[in-house]
Amino acid sequence: MAKKRTKSKPTSAKKGFSLKLSKQNKIILGSLLIVLSIALFFSFMSYYFTWQEDQSMLSEFKDRNAEASNLLNKFGAGISHFFMYKGFGLASFAFPLLLAITGLYLFLGLDSKGLIGKWIWGLVGTIWISVSLGFFAVELPLLGGLIGYEMNDFLQDYTGKIGVFLLLLFVLIIILVQLFNFSPEGIANFFRTQKQSIKSDFKKSKSKTPVSEEGSIELSMDTDTPVVVDTYTHKEDIPPLNKEAGLDVNLPEEEDLGIALKVEKVTEEKEEKDIKAEKLVKDYGEFDPKLELGNYKFPPLDLLDPHGASGGITINQEELEENKNRIVSTLKNYKIGIAQIKATIGPTVTLYEIVPEAGVRISKIKNLEDDIALSLAALGIRIIAPIPGKGTIGIEVPNKNATIVSMRSVIASNKFQKAEMELPIAFGKTISNETFVVDLAKMPHMLMAGATGQGKSVGLNAVITSLLYKKHPAEVKFILVDPKKVELTLYNKIERHFLAKLPDSDEAIITDNNKVINTLNSLCIEMDNRYELLKLAMVRNIKEYNVKFKSRKLNPNDGHKFLPYIVLVIDEFADLIMTAGKEVETPIARLAQLARAIGIHLIIATQRPSVNVITGIIKANFPARIAFRVTSKIDSRTILDAQGADQLIGRGDMLYTQGNDVTRLQCAFVDTPEVSKITEYIGSQRAYPDAHLLPEYVGEDSGTGIDYDITDRDAMFRDAAEVIVTAQQGSASLIQRKLKLGYNRAGRIIDQLEAAGIVGPFEGSKARQVLVPDIYSLEQLLQNEKK
């Protein structure tokens, strides 16, 4: 369902007439229609009482001295005469109603899609009522109006009274079926639920009054039983249960059926729950998570720049010929004959597919990779021998004039617009110029690496932009970690729409490494909480959970809530892992292993794809990997487990793998001003009161309430205390430096010092306060502790 909704998002042109009016004009026109509808309403009402008096005056309309009795004077009398007398009679009230609805739509700027339908059905209903009331036109001409009377009369001439009646009945059925989804089952259901609620009300009232008279007990049993059987005739196992439920107060002698009854009770509860949910859905509709920001407008396409690309790629025939000849002659030099050669032109590279003559060994061509690259004298040549599943050999040669793949073109593509995915990402275009769209929810986590300046940040922006164009703020939340402090700041503007943060933090975009650790741990708590909810709801993943929640089968009073997807983006992972090591690696590995089912997805980018940054445990849990250009073959292997990323040409040229196949893509280009426009567009709309709040996590560093056992203290505890007190500066890095300890051990000692009351609590980026003034006081404190 959600998918369907996202499909019909107003992305660009599909807005009907509302597109032609500015906001101000809509408000003005809306108010005009509302005022007009009120005037019509009062005119019509008043006309009912004054029409006979006013009729003679209609011919003197131009005479200023003539006065009508209608509340709206001559205007009221004239227009009511037109609509009610000459028109549709009582049914004319539909017009002020329709005008008021249209006016409200325009005034409030609502999506005007359903409006035409309302008018059509309104007019059909008006004619139907007017023709039906035409039967009484002789006695009461105002009921059906002239049109109703004439039409009724006309039909009667041909079909007679009964014919007209049957015709009207048939039209009524059409209206009910089309408009209210009327069906025989629907009617049966309606009566069933009505009966049910009457019965339960009846039972409730019965159980409230203490049973005292035997006679009355028997009577209630008798009346109860047939109702129960009636209600569930289609389910044989239920009636005995209801019988019991109705009887269990009254008939203790049926105790021997105890076990069977218990089993059945469970089924009944479940049924009742479902029925309740169905009733709720019927009364209030499905739960709509988007309702709180119901007027949210998705960013329009024209915020994105076409970047000069007219859409297609220009084919340079000369260049193609030249490259082909060079490939053929190079291979000829090594005595490799070619049976066939074919070129596929992409935005940045052209793929030459070669079918070698029979008997040529593929390994021979593979070994010639460097020689071919040399003779083609071009940067970024990649040889794929053989192309998986094709039996040909591919040589990718960069185009002299690369075409920029604009984000606009990929977002506008059919493939993205129609993508039936949970978290669709339009990455860019493949070598055969097809838009490449993947589902982040299926990846389920992504590792992105590449040397500096090769397009990582643009890639991250492309990912975030794709999601912003497809998802409502209620459906996805981002946690942005930006140790470089400049790359992701633009997203600050959408903090209250799309970002998630820790409850006590001011900034939603995390730039401080300590906060990252807290956030990651908080995400782990969120993950555990979500698993608990999934368990309670008896579903396997977030998608099923949200479907169940939307159909009101999960009670918010039991802690259930709509769960948005959470996407964690870390722009520079190397920096984090270097400073925090295991403290970051452990929660990330945990999240990566477990978070896929509950809608938490990680995207990690790094400039330094070395093995101590992308450790085995991280790599094992990130099947989707993206490599922009890197400087060495080793780096390429670290990211992709294959070489090739070292031969890319940069500027968004990238390799993508989600397992075995490696796909070469040109990443879509989205520039900072475009991102800025998008975030401004979203940021200027009504938002939630705050960013999405993650569960609270009390980090080890904040240390509140940590009570360390004195005997458990680190061997260097005393030395560290002396260093801190002497320097009067409570920082872990000081201990690290002076005592040559690792980050983690120093952190632990600081916690112990805090527990001992030597340093104050964690104060963010500032050093902690030292609570002991000198070495002498420290001695005393430690002595007292021992006692």
In angstroms, give the least distance from the CB of 376 to ligand ATP.
23
Q: Looking at 350, 399, 409, 454, which residue binds ligand ATP (CB under 6 A)?
A: 454
Buried/exposed 361-372: b ≥16 CB within 10 Å, e otherwise: eeeebeebbeeb
Q: Looking at 207, 452, 541, 726, which residue binds ligand ATP (CB under 6 A)?
A: 452
Q: Binding of ligand ATP at residue 324 (CB under 6 A)?
A: no
Q: Residue 728: which of 759, 755, 702, 749 has the closest Cα?
A: 759
By CB under 6 A, the count of residues binding ligand ATP is: 14
Residue corresponding to tokens 């109603």: 97
In angstroms, give the least distance from the CB of 629 to ligand ATP.
9
Q: Are 405 and 652 in contact (CB under 8 A)?
A: yes
Q: 193 is written with which tokens? A: 């639920």
Output 667 or 749, the one with its CB closest to ligand ATP. Answer: 667
Output 461 or 522, the one with its CB closest to ligand ATP. Answer: 461
In angstroms, give the least distance from the CB of 408 to ligand ATP.
13
519 marked among binding-site residues: no
CA gap 249, 217 in Å, rounded: 10
337 marked among binding-site residues: no
For the chain, the residue count is 787
DSSP 8-state symbol, 102: H
92 marked among binding-site residues: no
Amino acid letter, 672 = T
Among 377-385, 445-453, 541-549, 714-722, the segment contacting ligand ATP (CB under 6 A): 445-453
Q: Residue 696: which of 524, 481, 474 has the closest Cα?
A: 524
In angstroms, give the least distance from the CB of 669 to ligand ATP.
4
Output 455 or 587, the one with its CB closest to ligand ATP. Answer: 455
Q: 343 is written with which tokens? A: 């070129």
Output 458 or 584, the one with its CB closest to ligand ATP. Answer: 458
Q: Looking at 457, 465, 514, 522, which residue binds ligand ATP (CB under 6 A)?
A: 457
What sign has the CA pseudo-torsion 437, 440, 444, 446? Answer: positive
450 marked among binding-site residues: yes
Output 404 or 426, the one with its CB closest to ligand ATP. Answer: 404
In angstroms, give the least distance from the CB of 454 to ligand ATP.
5
Q: Binding of ligand ATP at residue 764 (CB under 6 A)?
A: no
Among 201-209, 265-273, 455-463, 545-553, the segment contacting ligand ATP (CB under 6 A): 455-463
In angstroms, give the least distance from the CB of 295 to ligand ATP.
34
Residues 350-409 that bind ligand ATP (CB under 6 A): 404
Tell me which long-range contacts 573-577 makes (C-beta under 8 A, separation of at least 24): 573/604, 573/605, 573/606, 573/613, 573/614, 574/606, 574/607, 574/608, 574/610, 574/613, 575/483, 575/484, 575/513, 576/481, 576/483, 576/513, 576/516, 577/612, 577/613, 577/615
Residues 704-743 that bind ligand ATP (CB under 6 A): none
Residue corresponding to tokens 């008939």: 251
Q: Are 350 and 396 in contact (CB under 8 A)?
A: yes
CA 705 to chain centre: 39
456 marked among binding-site residues: yes
Among 120-128, 133-141, 453-461, 516-524, the segment contacting ligand ATP (CB under 6 A): 453-461
Q: Binding of ligand ATP at residue 463 (CB under 6 A)?
A: no
Q: Are 633 and 576 in contact (CB under 8 A)?
A: no
In angstroms, give the least distance from the CB of 566 to ligand ATP.
23
68 marked among binding-site residues: no
Q: Binding of ligand ATP at residue 26 (CB under 6 A)?
A: no
Output 92 or 607, the one with its CB closest to ligand ATP. Answer: 607
Dmax over CA atoms of the chain, in Å, equals 117
Q: Are 385 and 394 in contact (CB under 8 A)?
A: yes
Amino acid letter, 485 = K
In angstroms, give the least distance from the CB of 750 to ligand ATP.
32
The residues with which 44 forms a beta bridge, in sequence order, are none
Among 56-64, 201-209, 447-455, 582-590, the segment contacting ligand ATP (CB under 6 A): 447-455
Site mask for ligand ATP (CB under 6 A), range 189-218, x = bound = ------------------------------
Output 392 or 406, the one with its CB closest to ligand ATP. Answer: 406
Output 644 or 652, the one with its CB closest to ligand ATP. Answer: 652
CA gap 670, 437 in Å, rounded: 16
449 marked among binding-site residues: no
Output 458 or 778, the one with its CB closest to ligand ATP. Answer: 458
User: For residue 3, what are the CA distances in angstroms to 7, 9, 49, 112, 611?
Assistant: 6, 10, 54, 21, 39
Q: Binding of ligand ATP at residue 629 (CB under 6 A)?
A: no
Q: Binding of ligand ATP at residue 455 (CB under 6 A)?
A: yes
Q: Binding of ligand ATP at residue 480 (CB under 6 A)?
A: no
Residues 637-696 that bind ligand ATP (CB under 6 A): 651-652, 667, 669
Output 337 or 453, the one with its CB closest to ligand ATP. Answer: 453
Output 85 or 669, the one with its CB closest to ligand ATP. Answer: 669
Among 105-113, 354-362, 452-460, 681-689, the segment contacting ligand ATP (CB under 6 A): 452-460
Residues 236-265 that bind ligand ATP (CB under 6 A): none
| Cis ω before 386 (30° cut-off from 0) | yes
Q: Looking at 419, 426, 441, 458, which residue binds ligand ATP (CB under 6 A)?
A: 458
455 marked among binding-site residues: yes
Cβ-proximal residue to ligand ATP, closest one: 652
Q: Are 682 and 492 in contact (CB under 8 A)?
A: no
**Helix (H/G/I), strand (E/B), else coil: 310:** coil
Output 145 or 455, the one with its CB closest to ligand ATP. Answer: 455
Angle at 437 between CA 113 and CA 305, to 5 degrees: 70
Q: Looking at 37, 152, 399, 607, which residue binds ligand ATP (CB under 6 A)?
A: 607
In angstroms, give the least distance from the CB of 409 to ligand ATP.
12
What sign has the CA pseudo-torsion 683, 568, 476, 409? Answer: positive
Helices (H), 644-742: 672-683, 717-727, 732-739
Q: Looking at 450, 473, 564, 644, which residue binds ligand ATP (CB under 6 A)?
A: 450
Spatial neighbors of 29 by CB under 8 A, at least 6 apart, are 21, 103, 106
CA gap 88, 72 in Å, rounded: 20
Q: Is 159 left (phi over 0), alpha (psi -120 to 50) or beta?
A: alpha
Annotated binding site: 450-457
Annotated binding site for ATP: 450-457
| Contact footprint for ligand ATP (CB under 6 A) | 404, 450, 452-458, 607, 651-652, 667, 669
